[in-house]
Amino acid sequence: MKRREFIYTLNAGAALGLMSKTAFAGWFPDGRTARMQNELAYHTIRSVTFEDVRLQYPRFVGKNARLDVHGFGPRLTICKIATDKGASGWASLRSSRGEAQRIVPELVGKKLSDVFQVSVGITDERYLPFDIALHDLAGVALNKPVYALLGREEPFTTKYYSGMIYFDDLEPAHAPGGIDKVLANCRYDYEYGYRQFKLKIGRGNRWMSQQDGLARDIEVTKAVAAAFPDCDILVDGNNGFTVNEFTAYLKGIGDTPLFWIEEPFHETVEDYRKLRDWMQHAGVSSLLADGEADPDPALLDELMEQKLMDVHLTDIEGLGFTNWRKLMPKLVQYNVQASPHAWGSLLKSYYTAHLAGGLGNTVTIEGVTSTSDDVDLSGYTIKDGRLVPPNAPGFGMALLR
């Protein structure tokens, strides 16, 4: 985890701590939260262990505007937490294994109710490495899906986009596939169930000349929109443009509609105001999404206050599930929607499905299509382009080993 990301999380936790810790808890009927919390008190944490799981993408994922090829999928470190009553939960580890191991003695021997509150999440920022695993464990202990811990008997469901349309036209380097390769990958994702595609753009930042890269970005966007007229198109510049370069891109795609625009350039109030003003003048109504790359919480607050940002993207693991629960009411006040960054791991997409399922206010969820020999991913389904989480306890994913 990057140092700035860690500092951001601590700052966000401190700031959000000033908000009502029981935000959204009122959705439960009177007394239900207290009864669930009392039930957690019967469980004492017996062990915390670590292992790795492997996720495989269905195809090679290439470059974006900033980074080289992304490969075939990650190997992730997970933590498993078990109680003396036989309940067990697990999730991705939100830190290095060494950092997490130093905190294990603070968890073992504690009652689950002391480290996790149904209405809030974790009770101490120090438990952030285990935040998502503790949500899973609480759901298992209470025999409820995580979205039900957040107040919903039936989950909100939301749109689900393919987040893995990278610069596929440039791969392989010795024989680039061209735009046909992009369209083939979109076709695969369409048949998989997606009805939204997020296209990486910004080829001229690093991999092509600025002029040629811009032309290719425009060509790819138009081609995908024409081939899949019943789908939404999202674009992500990974901060690979200047304001003028990006408005040139928007002029180039003409009347091609964009569901959202993500991180076209490194966010500043001045540049986002220029972009918003240009879009309003040109009649472009796309959502502006930001907050993934090295987020500055004070700047993001200012962008939201000034109506220059429509969707908050900070990573579901980077910020933490508990902090996302605390952030959501603030976003509602700003009239900003959520879509936590999930790229890299399908597990993060599925965690987000429960956050969205319980709290709503989520415009779409990032999909990272994957299979695994280590994790049963089959409980989640795509229906009419929406991600539907299972009603199994916790996050509803069993380890297969």
Q: Which domains does the chain have, with CATH numbers?
A: 3-144 (3.30.390.10), 158-388 (3.20.20.120)
pLDDT at 67 over 60: yes
Q: How many CA atoms lie within 13 A of 117 on its CB side?
A: 13
Q: In what helix (H) or strand (E) does residue 307 lie, and over which residues does it extend?
A: none
- Measured CA to CA in angstroms, residue 38 lies from 35, 153, 382 at distances of 5, 20, 35
Q: How far apart are the C-alpha atoms of 53 and 370, rounded to whole Å? A: 12
Give pLDDT tens digits for 224-242. Answer: 999 999 999 999 999 999 9
At 5, the pLDDT band (50, 70, 90 cuts) reads: very low
Mean confidence (pLDDT) of the chain: 93
> Beta partners for 92?
78
The pLDDT of residue 211 is: 97
Say if residues 195 and 385 touch (Cβ distance below 8 Å).
yes
Mean pLDDT over residues 78-92, rounded? 98
The pLDDT of residue 294 is: 85
At 29, the pLDDT band (50, 70, 90 cuts) reads: low
Q: How far apart are the C-alpha atoms of 324 and 343, rounded to whole Å? A: 17
User: To the nearest whole percent, how much of the chain has pLDDT over 90?
Assistant: 90
Say if residues 114 and 126 touch (Cβ distance below 8 Å).
no
pTM over 0.75: yes
pLDDT at 302 over 60: yes
The pLDDT of residue 4 is: 35
The pLDDT of residue 293 is: 83
The pLDDT of residue 6 is: 35
pLDDT at 22 over 50: no
Say if residues 78 and 49 touch (Cβ distance below 8 Å).
no
Give pLDDT tens digits for 256-295. Answer: 999 999 999 999 999 999 999 999 999 999 999 999 988 8
Give pLDDT tens digits for 323-369. Answer: 999 999 999 999 999 999 999 999 999 999 999 999 999 999 999 99
Q: How far apart are the C-alpha atoms of 339 and 289, rounded to whole Å? A: 9
The two three-digit tokens of residue 186, written as one number:
């979109």
Q: How far apart are the C-alpha atoms of 313 and 294, rounded to whole Å? A: 11
The two three-digit tokens of residue 317, written as one number:
């693991």
At 31, the pLDDT band (50, 70, 90 cuts) reads: confident
Mean pLDDT over residues 143-147, rounded? 98
pLDDT at 17 over 80: no
> Beta partners for 226?
none
The pLDDT of residue 27 is: 53
At 122, the pLDDT band (50, 70, 90 cuts) reads: very high
Q: Is 80 helix (H, G, I), strand (E, B) or coil?
A: strand
Give pLDDT tens digits for 378-390. Answer: 999 999 999 999 9
The pLDDT of residue 30 is: 60
The two three-digit tokens of residue 9, written as one number:
């999380």
Going by their DSSP bridges, the two strands 381-383 and 337-338 should be labelled as: unpaired
Q: How far apart are the C-alpha atoms of 365 and 387, rounded to whole Å? A: 8
Mean pLDDT over residues 177-194, rounded? 98
The type of residue at 380 is Y
Q: How far apart are the C-alpha atoms of 260 and 233, rounded to whole Å? A: 7
Q: How many CA atoms lie within 13 A of 357 on its CB side?
A: 26
The two three-digit tokens of residue 57, written as one number:
């993408």
Q: How far apart are the C-alpha atoms of 375 and 354, rounded to whole Å? A: 18
At 21, the pLDDT band (50, 70, 90 cuts) reads: very low
